[in-house]
Amino acid sequence: MTLQNYLGIGAFSTPPATRRGSKNSGANHALRHNPPRIKLLPVVKPKYVLDFKLIKDQINRLLESVPNKLELEWPKSRTASSDPAFLVLLGTANIVSNTFKAIRLLCSDKSQDWRLRPEMALVVPTLARTILDALYICIFLFKDLPSRADWYVCSGWKELAEYIDRARRDYASDPDWAEYLIDADTNLASLAKLIAKPPDELRRTRWWPTPHKMNSSTKSPTTAAFFGYLNDWFYREFSQVSHGSLPGLIHTVGALRDLAKGEAAKLEQLRGYYSMQAVMLLITFYSEIEAELTIGVTSDLKYVWQMLIQHNPFAKEIYDRRGYANRLT
Q: Using 50, 70 and 90 to split pLDDT, how confident is the model at 108?
A: confident
DSSP-derived secondary structure for 120-155: GGGGHHHHHHHHHHHHHHHHHHHTSHHHHHHHHHHH
pTM of the complete model: 0.85
The reported pLDDT for the residue numbered 76 is 65
Give me the residue spans of the domains in the chain.
2-39, 43-135+218-327, 144-210
Identify the pLDDT of residue 32.
47
Terminus-to-terminus CA distance in the chain, angstroms?
32
Q: Please, what is the average pLDDT of the chain? A: 86
Confidence category of residue 114, pLDDT binned at 50, 70, 90: confident
Summarize pLDDT for 180-236 with one digit per residue, the tens: 999 999 999 999 999 999 999 999 999 999 999 999 999 999 999 999 999 999 999
Helix 56-73 / helix 298-311 crossing angle, nearest 10 deg = 140
Model pLDDT for residues 45-100, shown as the tens digit of each residue: 555 568 889 999 999 999 999 999 999 988 665 555 689 999 999 999 999 999 99
The yes-or-no verdict on residue 120 having pLDDT over 70 is yes
